Structure formats: C-alpha cells, structure tokens
Amino acid sequence: MARILPVASFDGVVFGATGDLTMRKLLPALFHRFRDRQFPDSSRIIAVARTELDTEGYRKRAEAALRQHVDAASLDEDMLTAFLDLLRYHLVDALGEQGWPELVASLNERPDQVRAYYLATSPDLYGTICQRLAQHGGITPQSRVVLEKPIGRDLASAQAINNAVGAVLPEKQIFRIDHYLGKETVQNLMALRFANPIFERLWHADTIDHVQITVAETVGVEGRGGYYNGSGALRDMVQNHMLQLLCLLAMESPISLDTDAVRDEKLKVLRALQRVDPHEVNGCTVRGQYSAGIADGRPVPGYLADLGAESSNTETFVALKMQVNSWRWAGVPFYLRTGKRLPRKVSEIVVQFRTPPFSIYPRDQHELQPNRLLIRLQPAEGMRLEMMTKEPGPGGLHLRPTGLDISFEKAFGQRYPDAYERLLMDVVRGNTTLFMRRDEVEAAWSWVEPILQGWNDRRDTPRPYLAGSWGPTAAIAMIERDGRTWYESFD
C-alpha cells in the first residue's frame, strides 16, 4: 500500500465547481485522499460557481459525479457520506458582486487555516478572482492559489495573468498546475535518468538517434468545445504537458531535488529549444482536425459536428519536429504528436538509440535492431528496453528483438493514484516542486508563439484525418522524410 503522508486540515475553495474538471477530476481526487484519511474531516471543500444551487443541491451533483468517476470498489458509502458533508456551495459570479462577502466571511471564520483557492475556470477569470479575493479580505498568509493550464492563450495574456495574480500573492503561494507532473510515471523520468547511471551514460547525441513523445487520446472534444475551440491541441497539450515531458527527458541533472533546482534545469531546456521561425512551420509542424470515423469501436462524428459549427480552424492534432540546442542534444530530433480521436489512449516516450553501421551479424539480422527504450506513461505504466537476443536452438544464427520489461503495477503492486491526488495534497503542504514557475510558463509560450504566428501568416488550415486514425498522413511523412517512423506499441 502506498505510504500516506497526512496533511493539515484545510479550506479548499474551488472556483468552477460545477465544471467538467471539478466533477471528473478534482472531486474524485479529493475523495480518494479523504478515503485514505490523508486529511481530517475538519477540512472544508467550498464549491463556487454561478449556477443557482444550494449546498444540498451541489452535494447531489457531487455525489452523482463521484458515483460516475470513482471505481465502485473505492466508493465506501460511509466515506462518501462523510466526504459530501465537507462540501459547501457558494453562488458567486467572479465578474459581479454577488456572493463575495458571504464567501469570505465563511472562510474568515478560520483565518489561520490553510486556504487553497483552485481556479478551475477559464484563465480569463484568474486575475479578476484573485483581485476580488484581495478586495474582500480573503487572502491570508496561509492562502495558496492554483491556476489551471493553459495559463492564457499566448505570451502577453500569460504575462497579464501572472502579473494580476502576482499582485495579490507571492510566487511561492502560486501553484501553476500541470497535472502531467503529478503522474507517477512522469516523476519517475527523473529517477530513471538520475538514479540509474547506466542510462545517464547513454543519454547523449552520441548514442541517441531520436526521441518520440506521443500523447494520444480516443476522446473527442467532449462538450468542452467552448474552451477547446479557442485553444487547439498546441495550446491545450503541447505548451504545457508535452513541453514538460520534453524538459524532464532533456534536462541536465539538477544540483539537488530542491524545488527551484529542478525548475531551473527545466527552464534551461525551454530556453534551449530551437525557435521555429514563422516561415518554417511547414517543415516541422503538421496540424490536423478529426473528421467522422470510428472511436472505441463505434461510429463518431467529426470535430465540427461535435462543436456544432460549420467551420473551425482549430487543430485537434499536432505533430512537431523539435531540436534542443545543447551539447548533449545537438542534432537529435524530438518528434512530438498529440491528438484527439486517435486509435488508442496512450502516452508514451520512445528513446531510439543509434544503430552502429557495422555488426558481426548478417545484415538482414542487423537491420532488425530495435535498440530502443519505451517509457509508457499511461496506461499499463512501465518501461521496456528492446534488445536483440539469439533465438534458441540449432540451425544457424537467428536474432530476435525481445524486451526487458518493467510493469510498475507488478513491481509495486498498488493502485496508481490519479495525478491530481498528489498535486492537491502538495498544494495543502505548500510544496511547489511539481508545479510550474512563472518563467517556465512564459518561456513555453515564447517558443509556441512563432508557430501560432506562422500558422496564422500562412492561413494554415488543419488537415482532416479520420477519427480512429493516427492523424494526417503528413505527420507520417514528416518523420519518414528523416528515415524514421512513428513507433506504435500495440501491447
């Protein structure tokens, strides 16, 4: 069983409490932590939104969401009742006056309590919510604010949000969440690299041919079109999750596990990314938008039908070829791809090692060289080192690729907590290690912006791809032009 490190009693305030993220991710995560008695029942979870509800009405919505999103084996009825008792609802319009005095008065009944404000709303509201909280006396020395990604939609809006929030709270009390950093398998990337000298010796342009990062989803836009259509795959997934994965793969070893030591090294990678000038987007980016096809074995509509729109220039898929300008990575391409309505839900990293031009083995055997490390972030979390082995038995020499496999479930024999479970508890602890620092967010936007500009300058439209396919064929062409191919593990 995983070690449970209890946290202090807290007041958690969720703005956006009737939304998809709260119902599908935040409440289930808090329930699991409560069920494991990681926080005391003197804590309060205060739900905030505009919808006309009272606390009883909100508890009913929360119960329905928990019954839908928490596995039945974990849904102990007594625990569920006790958890729902922690919930309170406040009707507050972030842009209006209604509800603010009552909300803050309720919170200030316990002025010394750890107070975590989770902003699960559109990023446009982050500054206003923080300013209103300050105006009404809701910011205390024990207050933290959690900002969901993407923070803004470009560098300027990100800076404006960071300035507005930073005017109310110091950096160490601002938690910019990227839930991928809460995934155990993502945290394990640092252990893989910096706790295993064997890999650190190989982690270099001399031995690595290229790296692939795939974050594939089978879902479509799922009713989130209002947000997603203004975002697209580049802002939604690359500017945050995938660049964070790339940072952890490419960074130098931090001098310690101290929060800023780790974040300093990630920042260096973001600043070393080869800038894609707007006129270069064609050669190193591919955009796609899913059309009607098949998902999870059933017919599904295309993005426009999901959106209820006649047209949209929003990409639901993006593939990129990137370079990190450092001595370690010079000349090693990083291929990234992410999309909705792809054939499988999988997040996977492939480190392809170089195959030497010479071998003592026959050429037809030599060319089979897998010679790669697979890191499966989800599902079936684990790793596989693919290597050549001699087929047993007589009849000449035959080599076969096989794998050295680690299944984290088998190795550790326990439930993997959802990323939000760990991150929410770190917010209560005040531990910002697994959160993004302001300069990281802004450096990521600085790299993404010229690509957005290039697409805009070219009036680029996303290529259609069948739902259930691996995206536009141009994404395959992009990597195959370099004599490589996307790796698709089907186990």
Ligand X SMILES: O=C1O[C@H](COP(=O)(O)O)[C@@H](O)[C@H](O)[C@H]1O
Task: Summarize as ranges the residues that interact with ligand X (CB under 6 A).
Answer: 179, 217, 236, 347
The interface partner of residue 417, options being ligand X, ligand NDP, none and the CB cut-off 5 to 8 Å by kind, is none
Please identify, using beta-carbon distances, which residue of 15 and 334 lies nearer to ligand NDP.
15
Q: What does the buried/exposed string (b/e) look like for 456-468 if buried means 16 or more CB atoms within 10 Å of the residue's CB? A: eeeebebbbbebb
The interface partner of residue 239, options being ligand NDP, ligand X, none and the CB cut-off 5 to 8 Å by kind, is none
Which run of H or of E encompasses 245?
helix 243-250
* Residue 444 identity (one-letter amino acid): A
The interface partner of residue 105, options being ligand NDP, ligand X, none and the CB cut-off 5 to 8 Å by kind, is none
The interface partner of residue 366, options being ligand NDP, ligand X, none and the CB cut-off 5 to 8 Å by kind, is none
Beta-bridge partner residues of 421:
none
Beta-bridge partner residues of 436:
176
Could you tell me the smallest distance in angstroms from the CB atom of residue 150 to ligand NDP? Answer: 6
Distances from the Cα of 456 to the Cα of 76, 446, 459, angstroms: 52, 16, 5
The interface partner of residue 21, options being ligand X, ligand NDP, none and the CB cut-off 5 to 8 Å by kind, is ligand NDP
Task: Quote the strand ranges of 75-199, DSSP E.
Answer: 87-91, 114-119, 143-147, 174-176
Please identify, using beta-carbon distances, which residue of 93 and 97 lies nearer to ligand NDP.
93
| 246, two tokens | 């790339």
Pairing between β-strand 382-390 and β-strand 399-407 as defined by DSSP bridges: antiparallel
Could you tell me the smallest distance in angstroms from the CB atom of residue 378 to ligand X? Answer: 6
Q: How far apart are alpha carbons 148 and 123 in whole angstroms?
A: 7
Residue ranges of the annotated binding site for substrate are 179, 183, 217, 236, 340, 345
Considering only CA atoms, which of 281, 341, 351 is closest in space to residue 316? Answer: 341
Could you tell me the smallest distance in angstroms from the CB atom of residue 129 to ligand X? Answer: 19
The answer to whether 312 and 302 have CB atoms below 8 angstroms apart is: no
The CB-side HSE value for 257 (13 A sphere, CA atoms) comes to 7
Distances from the Cα of 413 to the Cα of 1, 70, 147, 416, angstroms: 8, 20, 33, 9
- CB-based burial of residue 434 (10 Å sphere; 0-12 exposed, 13-18 middle, 19+ buried)? buried
Alpha-carbon 151 to chain mean position: 13
Q: 3-class DSSP state for residue 460?
A: coil
Angle CA 49–53–58, to nearest 5:
85
Residue ranges of the annotated binding site for NADP(+) are 50, 149
Please identify, using beta-carbon distances, which residue of 94 and 349 lies nearer to ligand NDP.
94
Pairing between β-strand 174-176 and β-strand 143-147 as defined by DSSP bridges: parallel
The interface partner of residue 217, options being ligand X, ligand NDP, none and the CB cut-off 5 to 8 Å by kind, is ligand X
The interface partner of residue 120, options being ligand NDP, ligand X, none and the CB cut-off 5 to 8 Å by kind, is ligand NDP
Count the helices and strands in the chain (H runs, E runs): 20, 17
Please identify, using beta-carbon distances, which residue of 236 and 440 lies nearer to ligand X.
236
The interface partner of residue 16, options being ligand NDP, ligand X, none and the CB cut-off 5 to 8 Å by kind, is ligand NDP
Give the residue numbers annotated as catalytic, written as ranges: 241
Binding site for ligand NDP (CB under 6 A): 15-21, 49-51, 93-95, 120-123, 125, 148-149, 224, 227
Please identify, using beta-carbon distances, which residue of 16 and 302 lies nearer to ligand NDP.
16
Could you tell me the smallest distance in angstroms from the CB atom of residue 184 to ligand X? Answer: 12
Q: How far apart are alpha carbons 434 and 183 in whole angstroms?
A: 10
| 438, two tokens | 């302001």
Q: How far apart are alpha carbons 103 and 91 in whole angstroms?
A: 9
Please identify, using beta-carbon distances, which residue of 63 and 405 lies nearer to ligand NDP.
63
Could you tell me the smallest distance in angstroms from the CB atom of residue 33 to ligand X? Answer: 17
DSSP state of 273: B
Could you tell me the smallest distance in angstroms from the CB atom of residue 129 to ligand NDP? Answer: 8
Please identify, using beta-carbon distances, which residue of 347 and 469 lies nearer to ligand X.
347
Q: How far apart are alpha carbons 80 and 335 in whole angstroms?
A: 44
Could you tell me the smallest distance in angstroms from the CB atom of residue 423 to ligand NDP? Answer: 12
Please identify, using beta-carbon distances, which residue of 13 and 383 lies nearer to ligand NDP.
13
Q: How far apart are alpha carbons 369 and 65 in whole angstroms?
A: 48
Could you tell me the smallest distance in angstroms from the CB atom of residue 128 to ligand NDP? Answer: 8
